[in-house]
Structure 1
Amino acid sequence: MLQDTVADWVDEARIGAALESGRKEDAGKVREILAKALELKGLRLHDVAALAAVSDAGLLEEIFATARKVKEEIYGRRLVMFAPLYISNLCKNECLYCAFRRSNTGLTRRVLSQEEIAEETRIIINQGHKRILLVAGESYPGEGFKYVLDSIATVYSVKEGAGEIRRVNVNVAPLSVDDFKSLKEAGIGTYQIFQETYHRDTYAKVHVGGKKRDFDWRASAVDRAMLAGIDDVGVGVLFGLYDWKYEIMALMLHIAHLEERFGVGCHTISVPRMEPAMGSDMATSPPSPVSDADFKKIVAILRLAVPYTGFIMSTRETAQMRMETFALGVSQISAGSRTNPGGYADDEKFEASQFQLGDHRSLAEVIKDVSELGYIPSFCTGCYRLGRTGADFMDLAKPGLIKEKCGPNALSTFLEYLIDYAPADVAEVGERAIAQELDDMLPKTRRVSERMIEKVRSGRRDVYC
């Protein structure tokens, strides 16, 4: 089908017209849009354009305040935790912003064996993680795509005491429908792919070699994943390649396309900014740099536009920027990350990394810091094992019913972490955060949470509803 390989929904003329219509700042119109956003039904393309045009400090604060309300209403104080696991940095592509690109001879190339993947997994488990995002460069060793499938099986096979990885998400190159079916059969959670930029001319300028040059094949990857039955998908833009206002408008068109065709949009949106990468002048000096102020604006606007979509922020950003965006919309974060194959076992070697990290804190340090801010780190994977994915997840999320599951699950999995892995000072801070969260819960949800917490304290693990 043409739809499976051609992204004709990327309508640059439509994006341009919408941006032009919102160019003039209108305080009354902006406040109408913010009032609509509080209905938790999302925003239209022209609404997003109007918010993107705001520069007045007072109006910006109103946007941020509204985003905080929406984030609190839907997600409360939960922050989902995960760790990336890079299994290979082989790549056939020539992406000018990336250290993994084919011609970068200064990069140490490495493909992890299954034994090495198991060791990396053990280290991640012993940090306390339950979720992994498995990442590979866009080329595989001799066994081809089977290498990825074998790696997923290896991750799931590792058991460390009571610890295990309960969910593997995957970020790999675009696949055919048949290969996506194999990925689903491997038991993944979310398939994640970044378009990098939705602007065709810019895309062509920065992708100068390899299969990734094909804009449409990449932009249509999510369609093929969903046709294969993977109903939790994640998309993203690498902010800094082109005008951020255009990119968030294109994201809106992508989501609208998925909703029209499949009845449900993406499960997550990632919001990475370009960071320095070894051997890339472009990564050090982005073509369209995004300021900290605009970055926070991006997060807030997207939270209002797609209120039920999870937002992921990686350790590309500094600890300070990550903390500032939690309240504005971010709902998932990585912690204790390494972006080079074998980086957990040999954490002094970063010459094989894809990009420079901004947040070097360990998982325990992140847990302590976010708990002191009143957030509840969540290691929950319940929805994926109970089939609450895709449209079924949204059917619970939009009426607000998912909070009755996510709240208790967050507390039970957080308590698991505190008992099994946390240093004493982190456990003390975490216990206070749990007590405060229980005090703020509705009576019914609190009763469910307390029953689950008691099971964890008595020695049960993997307690979820």
Structure 2
Amino acid sequence: MGFYDVIQQWKDFDFERYFAEVTDNDVLDSIYKEKLTEYDLLNLLSPKAKNHLERMARRAQEIKTQHFGNIISLYMPIYISNFCTNNCAYCGFSKKNHIVRKHQNLEEIEEEAKEIAKQGVEHILMLTGEAHGLVTLDYLKDAVKVLKKYFNSVSIEVMPLEEWEYKELADIGVDGLTVYQETYDEEIYDKVHLSGKKKDYHFRLNTPERGAKAGLRTIGIGPLFGLSEIKKEAFFAGLHLKYLTDKYLNSSFAISLPRINPAEGGFQPDHPLDDITFVQFMTAYRLFQVKADINISTREIASFRDHLMHMGITKMSVGSKTDVGGYTEHDPSTCQFEISDNRSAEETIQAIRDNGFQPIYKDWQQIK
């Protein structure tokens, strides 16, 4: 049974009726249980749970400290191409947008890598637009070989690939994959993905599994909050995390909570996620899947990210640029979306220390 079958099992569930019947005692029971079920996750995502956010936050930090210690791992993104053959209503890279586009050659990628490496962060996330025919497997492999000269860990956030393609990338040193489903609602997915290969809902939904089968060490998932009803999105993302964690024991899994930020094209979300509900969802994930990483990106403002450090997160991006060529500032392209935390890597790392946590530049070593 695949995860789509899990979605179908819950398709006709009356979420609003369930949420309306959740009591304070239901929420409290779910906060302090050792092993949570899907119904406990629903309790923690319910409106009633907002009465107990302080308890959820304290419990989340206790669990995080128990399983991860007093650390926050660091990573930096590198965008190497922003060409795209998809037409997605919400994305700044969509082919419909008339933006400054750039596709780096290997020399330019190496120049960016050298600049990023000065920060000392050993985890890099390589991103591209989904430009089929331009961003080829060979191009990705050549770029990874360049990045591996400067970084211990290279993860990718590119177009969904086949299992054999992930295996070839893993063989040359890629150890992580990030792929967001954007929305788990199949009808809305079809409406916001107007054309291009990304329109294939099922191929994207099964991408994390293909990465796990290929032997990738870490895999990150998440919805893009704003496209569909937020409590349902949060629930299905949590179910997806549980499904993957239970089925693929040789990979570790992470979840993110990206919100739609201003981008080229001016897309306005129908279902915005406010800060309080963001905290509710994030702490619910920590209680529901105690060993999962929780990642917070620079989509969020600096003061909010500093606040979230005390609520169970384990990973943060630092000093991010979302434009191709952004670190060297040589003919930079249009950004995918606007960064909200504009601090330098050094400033963010100092903030992590000031909040009482240990920043981790490198948390594993690949043995050839």
**TM-score where L is the length of structure 2:** 0.93
Secondary structure at the aligned position of 1:65 is classed as: helix
Q: For the structure 1 residues 375 and 211, does the alpha-carbon distance in structure 2 shift closer, same or farther, using more than 3 Å as the test?
A: same
Secondary structure of the 1:10 match is helix
- Counterparts of 1:228-243 in structure 2, within 5 Å, are 228-243=214-229
Unaligned runs of 5+ in 1: 158-163, 388-465
CA distance in 2, matches of 1:204, 1:273: 19
The amino acid of 1:7's aligned partner reads: Y
Q: Does the CA contact (< 8 Å) of 2:294 and 2:315 recur in 1?
A: yes
1:292 aligned residue: 275
| Structure 1 equivalent of residue 42 of structure 2 | 49
Q: Does 2:355 correspond to 1:363?
A: no
Native 8 Å contact 1:15 1:246 kept in 2: no
Identity rate of aligned residues, in percent? 30
Letter in 2 for 1:339: T
Shift of 1:369: 1.5
- Which whole-Å CA distance do the structure 2 matches of 1:12 and 1:94 have between them? 30
In the TM superposition, 1:153-172 aligns within 5 A as: 153-157=145-149, 164-172=150-158
Shift of 1:231: 4.2
Which residue does the alignment assign to 2:23? Answer: 26
Within 5 A, what are the aligned runs for 1:6-25? 7-11=4-8, 13-14=10-11, 16-17=13-14, 20-25=17-22
Maintained 8 Å contact 1:83/1:335: yes
Question: Which runs of structure 2 are paired with 1:254-293 in the superposition (5 Å)?
Answer: 254-263=240-249, 266-279=252-265, 281-282=266-267, 285-293=268-276
Q: Secondary structure at the match of 1:127?
A: coil
Aligned counterparts of 1:322 and 1:143: Cα–Cα separation in 2: 33
Q: What SS does the corresponding residue of 2:93 show, helix, strand or coil?
A: coil
Find the counterpart in structure 1 of residue 198 from structure 2: 212
CA offsets 1:333-378 (integer angstroms, 9 cap, x no match): 11111011111000894x5110000000001111111211111110
Q: Determine helix, strand or coil for the equivalent of 1:109.
A: coil
Confirm or deny: 8 A CA contact 2:72 2:315 kept in the other structure: yes
Residue 127 (structure 2) pairs with residue 127 (structure 1): no
Give the direction of change, closer, same or farther, for the CA distance of 1:273–1:128 in structure 2 (3 Å limit): same
Residue 102 of structure 2 is aligned to residue 110 of structure 1: yes
User: How far apart, in 2, do the equivalents of 1:316 and 1:24 lie?
Assistant: 34
Query: Mapping of 1:243-254 within 5 angstroms?
Result: 243-254=229-240
* 1:148 counterpart (132, 140, 149): 140
Q: CA deviation at 1:65?
A: 2.1
Residue 83 of structure 2 contacts residue 93 of structure 2 at CA under 8 Å; is this kept in 1?
yes
Give distance in 2, aligned partners of 1:86 and 1:261. Answer: 31
Kindly tell me: are residues 362 and 371 of structure 1, through their superposed partners in 2, closer, same or farther at Cα, counting changes over 3 Å? same
**Cα contact 1:90–1:110 (8 A) shared by 2:** yes
Asked if residue 373 in structure 1 is aligned to residue 355 in structure 2, the reply is: yes
SS in 2 for 1:99: coil
Q: SS at the partner of 2:228?
A: coil
Per-residue deviation at 1:15?
7.1
Q: TM-score, normalised by structure 1?
A: 0.75
Which amino acid counterpart does residue 299 of structure 1 have in structure 2?
Answer: M
The one-letter amino acid of 2:145's match is A
Partner amino acid, structure 1, of 2:366: R
Supply the AA of the counterpart residue of 1:380: K
- Residue 34 of structure 1 and its aligned partner are, at CA, apart by 1.3
Task: Kindly provide the amino acid, as one letter, of the partner of residue 376 in structure 1.
Answer: Q
1:23 is paired with a residue whose SS is helix
1:18 touches 1:45 (CA, 8 Å); kept in 2? no
Using the alignment, how far apart are the partners of 2:270 and 2:187 within structure 1?
Answer: 13
Q: Distance in 1 between matches of 2:60 and 2:12?
A: 23
Deviations 1:412-460 (A, max 9, x none): xxxxxxxxxxxxxxxxxxxxxxxxxxxxxxxxxxxxxxxxxxxxxxxxx
Aligned to 1:329: 312
User: d(CA) in 2 for partners of 1:201 and 1:12?
Assistant: 17
How far apart are the structure 2 equivalents of 1:306 and 1:15? Answer: 24
The alignment of Structure 1 onto Structure 2 pairs a total of residues equal to 368
Summarize the alignment of residues 436-455 of structure 1 with structure 2, pairs less than 5 Å apart: none
**Partner letter of residue 114 of structure 2?**
R
Aligned to 1:233, the other structure's residue is in SS state strand
Deviation at 1:316, TM superposition (A): 0.8
Cα distance in 2 for residues equivalent to 1:173 and 1:29: 41
Encode CA deviations 1:148-170: one digit per residue, 9 max, x unaligned.
1100001112xxxxxx3111011
In structure 2, the residue corresponding to 1:357 is in which secondary structure?
coil
Aligned CA distance change for structure 1 residues 75 and 262 (closer, same or farther; 3 Å): closer
Secondary structure at the aligned position of 1:11 is classed as: helix
Are the structure 2 counterparts of residues 141 and 291 from structure 1 closer, same or farther at C-alpha, using a change threshold of 3 Å?
same
- Per-residue deviation, 1:58: 4.2
**Deviation at 1:57?**
5.4
- SS of 1:327's equivalent in the other structure is helix
> Structure 1 residues 348 and 102 mapped into 2: Cα distance closer, same or farther (>3 Å)?
closer
Asked whether the equivalents of residues 153 and 186 of structure 1 are also in contact (C-alpha less than 8 Å), the reply is: yes
Match of 1:306 in 2: 289
Tell me if the contact between 2:283 and 2:311 (Cα under 8 Å) persists in the aligned partners. yes
